[in-house]
Every structure is written in C-alpha cells, then in structure tokens.
Amino acid sequence: MKTRSRFFQGIGLLILLISIALFTFSARDQSRAQVFPATINRDCAPWDGSAFTVSIRYETITTIIVSIWQSPDINIPTTFTFPDDSGQVGFAYILPELDPLQQLTGKVFFTSVESEFPVEGWFDFVTEAGQRITGRFKAEWENTVAMCG
C-alpha cells in the first residue's frame, strides 16, 4: 500500500512541476512580445462625451485604431472587448494604407490611462479576413485638442 501511495505522490509532484514550467514559459513569451509605438489623443464619444483614441503603428503602412468612449482616467487595469454590441464602449479597426478599413474582433488591455503619462497595454485582435494580430504597445500623448459638442 505504501508503494502505491508514493507512486501517486510522485505522479502528482511531476504534474505540478510540469504545470509550473509551462506557466513560466508562457509568461516569458508574453513579456517578450513586440512593443509597437503608438499615440494617444483625447477624443469625443458619439454623444459628445469624453473619449480617447489610441493609434498603434502595427506595420510600416498599417495602423490599428482603438477608440474608447469614456474619460481617459482609468486607474485600474482594464480590458475592452470588440465589437461592442451595446454601442457604449467604442470601436477598433485596422487601417492598411492601400486597403479599406476593417473592423477588428478581440480585446485591448490598458494597465491604466492617465492624461500626460504614457499608456501601456496589449491587444489581441482578429481581422475580417481571419488574420490574428497581437502585441503590446506604449502610447505617448499628443497635444491634439478635442472639441466636443
């Protein structure tokens, strides 16, 4: 009986070690994801409320645009999902220079959003054509003034 319980304890320990190793290596890959340059600007929501827009330079001639229709004062890590069926969150699309814009499906995550401080986060989107685009970004504020109303 002791042999059988030691065998199962050994198997359990092996599973635990493999799980820890897999978690560690997957987290390491995420931290090495490419960081894309981006800009962030104040914007206006469709109802003339406060909003902000992040423009991520994904490739030389391709930009990802994410508009969030709320004030740029998010103090906690926050994820937004697109498309937004409620019409209250915002929108995300990709704008290749020579092609028409395409709506994106997926998520964008912000560590926090505060005026005058760089904004960091990550995105995981799928284009209308089924192409997956992921990465991290660091957005610097531009001095564009939004005139809502």
Confidence at residue 85, expressed as pLDDT on a 0 to 100 scale:
81
Q: Are residues 99 and 27 in the same domain?
A: no
> What was the pLDDT predicted at 91?
92
**CA 81, CA 90: separation in Å to the nearest integer?**
9
Q: Which residues constitute the domain of residue 2?
A: 1-32
Task: Judge if 76 and 120 occupy the same domain.
Answer: yes
Q: Please, which residues have CB within 8 angstroms of residue 21's CB and are 6 or more apart in sequence?
A: none
Question: Against a cut of 0.85, is the pTM above it?
Answer: no
pLDDT tens digits, 8-30: 777 776 776 676 666 665 544 44
Mean of the per-residue pLDDT values for the chain? Answer: 85
Rounded Cα distance between 51 and 133, Å, is 24
pLDDT digits (tens, 9 = 90+) for 22-72: 666 554 444 456 899 999 999 999 988 889 999 999 888 899 999 999 999
Question: Is 96 a domain residue?
Answer: yes
Q: Do 48 and 105 reside in the same domain of the chain?
A: yes
pLDDT in the model for residue 59: 84
Q: In this structure, are 82 and 96 located in the same domain?
A: yes
